[in-house]
Structure 1
Amino acid sequence: MERIVDAHIHLDHYSQEEIDLIMKELDQIHCSNLISVSFDLESCNKNLQLAKQFPKVKPAFGFHPEQEIPSYHEVAELLDWMSENRDEMVAVGEVGLPYYLRSENPQISIEPYIHLLDEFLKFAKKWDKPVVLHAVYDDAPIVCDLLEKHNIKDTHFHWFKGGSSTIERMMKNGYFISITPDVLYEEEIKQLVLKYPLDQMMVETDGPWRFEGKFSGKMTHPAMIHESVNMIAKLKNEDPSFVYKRLYENTKSFFRL
């Protein structure tokens, strides 16, 4: 068991009892940091408090796109808060486009979400912050257009799913992806690992999202990342120690930890 970083977790969405348990066990699972991404302003505030309480927690601030678009006032309030707390944040995130929300309700317009993401990307560019993205399938090329428009390189597509042409574009642009524990049982994720360079890869849980297979019925815990790393090593036909080191260094470097 070697060092890991959970590159994407919603720590603020766990119960206090679960948070205490996870934080207590980080040392024994050799997890040096958790990148805790935010859902909205309330979530940002909670992640900031968690980071102050637990130095291993590194917060990202943003607005998760799979929800109703915020008002102009709410966006302005969030961006102002993020500016005031920019020194405490390691990234802008989680931001992106609402693929699953629009799949359930095709009447929802994507344009306000594109505009909102554009505002977050301007913020990231202004303050030189990495970006953590929720952008899958048909939404990913739109996000790539915006990233290229703003010339943003430090980009992390978490739990990515999409077509070959988009994957090639992301690889060429130097964007990072992160792999979840479903790499143990999802063929789509296994194929992504085979295609994507290890030098542009991280590992995450996206907890408290729950997984299936051997993880069925279990609370999502950063310890699951060790299973992911070993599966990545197997798929890449690489020594696990080499893969551990590469993924760890990738994550520390990307988030400037």
Structure 2
Amino acid sequence: MSAPYCWDTHIHLEQYGERADALVRESAAAGVEAIVAVSMDLASCERTAALAAAHPGVVRPAYGFHPEQPLPDDAALDRLFDWMERLAARGERFAVGEVGLPYYTRTEAEHSGSAFDEGPYVRLLERFVAFAARRNLAIALHAVYEDAHKALDVLEKHGARRAHFHWFKGDAEAVRRIVRLGAMVSFTPDCLYDDETRSLLRAFPLSAMLTETDGPWPFEGPYEGRATHPAMTRDVVAAIAEAHGIAPEEAAAALRRNAERLYGDS
């Protein structure tokens, strides 16, 4: 087995179905120390919980509701929060995620001339952030471009600092606000070929960075036609090391410390 080298801090592990358990074992053999498995809704949360129970310490669960989908009714959301409350009451540790704002759904509606009410999504994000802040839980955010500022407003309002902007895309002011808050951002394998993402590698201090895949989301460039695997985070470590002018081993150690600091008790 390779020595521990990196974390995949954002992956939809339960979406790999029967392949998920083997993926965890393969990742460990490749030096991936831990995986933060995020969820889409209550049923997804329950599948994630089962994977975390099967791989304790390696699969770190995160529970929430992904914003790029229609919102369920209030009763369904109450069931999700009640389920999370019961876990917290039993002393189980987990993160909150994936939660955030529906940037792509909203902009697609706007471009097509359709009406879109973002208000209910903002209120749901407030509820998740308040839940996480009360319990000092890490929170994994889907909040890109101008939505990063909206999410930062909510985090600052509730004093939530254990925040992770996954696959971050945003302007220089959002970068400054994230660093000032003490939050973190993660980078996927697209930093090897996407110019916008590559430029962001140099915008953040190493102390604010994490590695992720967002699997099973597929990648292009050198990954064209390949199934997304947590071991790809090793390539992200190398890209971050190059951008910051340090050895890959030094970058790996710092990135692992960051992940442990944010998700170590999840």
* Partner residue, 2:78: 76
- Contact 1:229–1:243 at 8 Å: present in 2 too? yes
> TM-score, with normalisation over the residues of structure 1?
0.96
- What is the Cα-based RMSD across aligned positions, in Å? 1.2
2:125 aligns to what SS in structure 1? helix
Provide Cα deviations, 1:20-72, integer angstroms capped at 9, x if missing partner: 33122123211121100000000000000111112211100000000001211
**1:88: how far off?**
3.3
CA distance in 1, matches of 2:129, 2:21: 33
Q: Is the 8 A contact 2:211 2:237 kept in 1?
A: yes
The one of 94, 109, 112 aligned to 2:117:
109
Q: Give the 5 Å matches for 1:155-170.
A: 155-170=163-178
8 A contact 2:133–2:160 mirrored in 1: yes
Q: How many percent identity over aligned positions? A: 41
* Counterpart contact for 1:61–1:89, Cα < 8 Å: no
Match of 1:95 in 2: 99
1:217 aligned residue = 225
Tell me the equivalent position of 1:153.
161
TM-score (norm. length: structure 2): 0.93
State whether structure 2 residue 15 is matched by structure 1 residue 13.
yes
| Aligned match for 1:66, one of 68, 78, 90 | 68
SS, match of residue 202 in structure 2: helix
111-120 or 47-56, which moves further after superposition? 47-56
Q: What are the equivalent positions in structure 2 for 1:1-257 lying under 5 Å apart?
A: 2-16=4-18, 18-55=19-56, 56-86=58-88, 87-106=91-110, 107-257=115-265
8 A contact 2:97–2:141 mirrored in 1: yes
Code of the residue aligned with 1:82 in structure 2: it is M
Deviations 1:182-212 (A, max 9, x none): 0100111111110101001100000000000
Q: How far did 1:125 drift?
A: 1.5
Offset, 1:89: 4.0
Q: Is the 8 A contact 2:21 2:51 kept in 1?
A: no
The one-letter code matched in structure 1 to 2:86 is E
Contact kept, 8 Å, 1:159 with 1:177, in 2: the verdict is yes
Where do 4+ consecutive residues of structure 1 move more than 3 Å? none
Shift in CA distance, 47/89, structure 1 to aligned 2, threshold 3 Å: farther
